[in-house]
Chains A and B, each alone.
Chain A
Amino acid sequence: MKKPSLRFRLTDAFYIAMMILPIVFGIVLKVLTKPATTGISITGAGIYFTIPMPIQDFPVTESQVNSVIALVVVLFLCLYLTHGLTEKADLKRQHFAEMAVTKVDDLVKENMGEYFNGFTPFIIAILALSAVSSLLTLCGLFPPTSDINIVGGWAVLVFFLITYYKMKCGPVNYLKSFTQPVALLTPINLISEVATPVSMAFRHYGNVLSGTVISVLLGSALAGLSAKLLSFLPGFLADIPLFQVGIPAVLSLYFDLFSGCLQAFIFAMLTMMYVAGAFDAETFFKKKARKSAKNKS
């Protein structure tokens, strides 16, 4: 195998640096603007600064900045993984990239069917963005997914997709679908239509936020416990919250790593199911066949 040229390696270094630098930037920004606190402090996203606007001031919050950080990290991760693609695949990262794309491709084919073959990039984008956003907690940053505004935005996007694929069979069929199976149930159908994005947003946001709240509560409880139990130790040893070392890491393994990745997967799966379920393939193809027959005659 040929040794990579200097230029190739420099580009690699640039991509890796651009993956790490935004996170460092976020940490520095947080350290500079947020005062350190001890004890229980559960707050929403802090506001860095506000931009004056004619109707209402536009606050730039921690979650917005962190979601842009996540976007940049995902962008340069993709650039790094696809750098130096060859037909023989002699770089390890190409195998990884191919594996990821094939896995999601299979998932999409299995869950959505033939018509939605082009959906892989969208699903993989949702997966990567959600997972990276949730995993930002590992660096001590505020996870954007524990802010309902961010997750609500994704859910509204999915809602538009669902409505678009319902409209594919024509607006008349779309309006008629609300009166199924009985016209009496129309209000309930309307509520369930709105409940889809709301429940998707609440599910993702509630899971990540509850993990944060439980972690903070457990941390302060362990500090209080060690202050009570270890107060007999001499000198400065009594002031160190010894129980806080290591034990929260076990919970963090579940709440940050496992739950973050699982919620990303569930959000992507629900997107696939809702979009695929919204599309009435039978009526669509029947209509298409009728139209082409009419054009011929």
Chain B
Amino acid sequence: MELAIGIILGCCALGAGMAMIAGIGPGIGEGNAVASACEAIARQPESKGSVTTTMLMGCAIAETTGLYALVIAILLIFVAPNILVNILTEAMQAL
């Protein structure tokens, strides 16, 4: 029983860590977006306002995939262990 609970907790933590590999993508994407925005502002300093607004919007949208991964990781850490352990104890009682 303890072993099974330990495996559940460990696998949930591992899964959460693996889900956050998705954080690489938004990092690269936002870096590219900000680099291009810097170039644009350097070329045309007078368009700073609109470039910054567009960059923030683009960053927010590029962030979405990372946030999906974050939500899954949070579910795996805070929600999934309780549910899985409850299912396990119910199954053990039924036996």
Which residues of A come within 8 Å of B, CB atoms? Answer: 42, 44, 199, 202-203, 205-207, 209-210, 213, 262, 265-266, 269-270
Chain B residues in 8 Å Cβ range of A270: 57, 60
Q: Which residues does chain B contribute within 8 Å of A262, judged by CB atoms?
A: 56
B63–A203 touching, CB < 8 Å: yes
Chain B hits for A265, CB < 8 A: 56
When the two chains form the complex, which single residue of B53, B57, B68 contacts A202, counting CB atoms closer than 8 Å?
B68
The interface size of chain B toward A, counting residues with CB under 8 Å, comes to 12
Q: CB within 8 Å of A: which of B43-62? A: 53, 56-57, 60
Please determine whether B60 and A206 come into contact, CB atoms closer than 8 angstroms.
no
Quick one: closest B residue to A205, CB to CB? B71
Within the complex, the shortest CB–CB distance from A84 to chain B, in Å, comes to 33
B interface: dominant SS: helix
In the bound complex, residues from chain B placing their C-beta under 8 Å from that of A203 are: 60, 63-64, 67
Residues of chain A with a CB closer than 8 A to B68's CB:
202
Q: Mark B66-82, 1 if CB is under 8 A from A, else 0.
A: 01101100100010000
Beta-carbon contact of A266 and B56 below 8 Å? yes
The answer to whether A209 and B57 touch (CB under 8 A), given A202-B64, A203-B64, is: no
Task: Across the interface, name the chain A residue whose C-beta is closest to B65.
Answer: A199
Contact between A199 and B78 (Cβ–Cβ < 8 Å)?
Answer: no
Residues of A within 8 A of B78 (CB): 42, 44
Q: Which residues in B have their C-beta under 8 angstroms from that of A202?
A: 64, 67-68, 71
Q: Point out the residues of chain B lying under 8 angstroms from A206, CB to CB.
A: 67, 70-71
Q: Give the docked Cα–Cα distance between A197 and B57 (Å).
A: 16
B73 to chain A, nearest CB (A): 10
A42-B78, A199-B64, A202-B64 in contact; A266/B71 too (CB < 8 A)?
A: no
Which A residues touch B64, using CB under 8 A?
199, 202-203
